[in-house]
Amino acid sequence: MQPTLTIGEVSARAGVARSALRFYESRGLIAADRTVGGQRRYRRDVLRRVAFIRAAQRVGLSLSEITTALSDLPMGRAPTRSDWGRLARHWQGRLDDQIRLLTELRNDLTSCIGCGCLSLRACALSNPDDLAEQLGSGPRFHLGEGQPAPAR
């Protein structure tokens, strides 16, 4: 039988709160066995799953995207290189889009980054007369929908 870890051991080793582990378990992202007394016991491979969850969250992936990805990985064993490769290929485009958006945001921090964000009635820098409102709510220009008007 493989040695297991307590929730406290996983929490300390993974750097996440126990409540986060319970939440991940409730969402089916990780699994734990129970002792006769009802205490959680985790297999060591859960550390890789938690590391994956944390890394994916840090790059801005939603919990729904993470859940979908983990549903394709084995629960009872550590993922193999092939498992990770399949997941990486699936997310390549999504991560490339995220990188593009972050780069554009970084490069535009010195100008008005909110064009259309709050559907302002006027933005003298790149959205005069609030033309971005017609494109919808949110940062339309930064999402690649429409082009900012030239500054006056």
Q: What domains does the chain contain, in order, with CATH numbers?
A: 4-107 (1.10.1660.10), 112-152 (no CATH)
- Please tell me the predicted confidence (pLDDT) of residue 7: 96
The tokens for 56 are: 């994916």
Q: Grade residue 26 by pLDDT with cuts at 50, 70 and 90.
A: very high
- Residue 41 has φ and ψ, to the nearest 5°, of -135, 125
71, 81 Cβ separation under 8 angstroms: no
The stretch 5-15 carries a mean pLDDT of 96
Torsion angle, alpha carbons of 17, 22, 26, 32, to 10: 120
Tell me: the pLDDT tens digits for 40-89?
A: 999 998 998 899 899 888 888 888 988 888 887 777 777 788 887 888 88
- Please tell me the predicted confidence (pLDDT) of residue 36: 92
Tell me: the pLDDT tens digits for 80-101?
A: 888 878 888 888 888 888 888 8
Q: Is the pLDDT of residue 122 over 50?
A: no
* End-to-end alpha carbon distance in the chain: 72
Number of other residues whose CB lies within 10 A of the CB of residue 31: 15
- Please tell me the predicted confidence (pLDDT) of residue 101: 80
